[in-house]
Amino acid sequence: MKTIGLLKNTVQEYEWGSHTAIPELLGQPASGKPQAELWMGTHPCAPSMVRHQGGWIPLSRLIEKYPQEMLGQSVKKKYQNKLPYLFKVLAAVKPLSLQAHPSIKQAKEGFEKENRLGTPIGAPNRNYKDNNHKPECICALTPFWALNGFRKIHDIIYLLTKICPKGLKEELRELKKYTDPFGLKYFFNALMTMNKKKKNRMIVEALGNAKAFSKKNHIFKWIIKLHSEYPYDMGILSPALLNLIRLKPGQAMFLSEGVLHAHLEGVGIELMANSDNVLRGGLTPKHIDVQELLNVLHFEEIEVTILKPKKINNCERVFLAPAEEFLLSIIEIKKGINFSSPENRSIEIIFCTAGSATIYDVDGDKEVDLFKGTSVVIPSVINKYMINGNATLFKAAVPI
């Protein structure tokens, strides 16, 4: 394939999704069901379709058929003829599960183990859907609330002492003795394996105290809100354990392997390695495997870096996230300011979030009109392309 291809993508309907955000972005009527994610890529759960020779063909099949033209030599070789990233729009009105992603070594071992055990890929108790890791970067389109990594241990002790001094008296005493990753792991394990009777008493105490402090602190507001969605789930304490983040539109953050996190509310553009491996710890009716989660988690304190895009030319800004598989950037064009691609590039997917534009191959005669909600794939074989109009676009690429 040697032309720019229009994409048709799958919308994933999960119960935590928005009824309106993705339909409005796509210019489509609401379906009446919560629409949580729009997937752009080749993941077998929902591969994008490409307009090709008058019909529609899965992007994965085009890459299998023309790996050199689509990916370019270096990406073709490094990623064994596969697209290394998955591009998404995420729209949450309810919190996603408290979760972490495995390293690539853990993913390969877990995937092979569950295959040997004969656990079906679609089984609800399956932990590993593929053999890849899942570093990810999310950029806010609206104000976006999230949890990202364990906060400082002395802050955890302070916050939990305020809301459940009786229910967690013994556990907090031990954490005060061992304020290191070992102590934090021991403490977290105690929370996750607590018997139901003690857990329920502790949560009642935590809720009562959180309400007293909630007017002045978003941490306690979120504890109350999480309980309204997932009553008596241990995950409701996660805002006191993890860094509570509010991204402004245009800001982003990176999530690496082994980091406990949850997206709480908002609409964002998400780019990640091509994987669907999730180990859950709470805030979900789905499968939770505490022991496997403990094996995957990193228990170091984290200070979250808010990513602001770095300007690389007159209309493109890039988020410098530490990932080998992907690079996320924002392209903003207007009258008199057009985008011109570099010649040294691999396969790219572009998604339009506002306005309208035209993208065209400089050396060919192919051009595609871009409107809010449309997306295209640009094969590596296209030496140079340009975009003009008045639009905001997000670009997924592979670092070269």
Rounded to 5°, angle at Cα 344 from 339 and 348 = 65
Question: What span, in angstroms and rounded, lies between the C-alpha atoms of 76 and 58?
Answer: 18
Packing angle of the helix pair 181-192, 153-163 (nearest 10 deg): 30
Helix (H, G, I), strand (E, B) or coil at 170: helix
Q: Is 63 exposed, middle or buried (0-12, 13-18, 19+ CB in 10 A)?
A: buried
Question: What span, in angstroms and rounded, lies between the C-alpha atoms of 273 and 285?
Answer: 25
Q: Cβ atoms within 10 A of the Cβ of 324, count? A: 12
SS (H, E, C) 57-91: EEHHHHHHHCHHHHHCHHHHHHCCCCCCEEEEEEE
Residues annotated as part of the active site: 280
| DSSP letters for 265-312 | EEEEEEEEES----EEEESSSS---HHHHHHH---S---PPPB-PEE-
> With the CA atoms of 295, 296, 300 and 305 taken in that order, what torsion angle do they form, in degrees rounded to the nearest 10?
-170
Question: What span, in angstroms and rounded, lies between the C-alpha atoms of 263 and 352?
Answer: 23
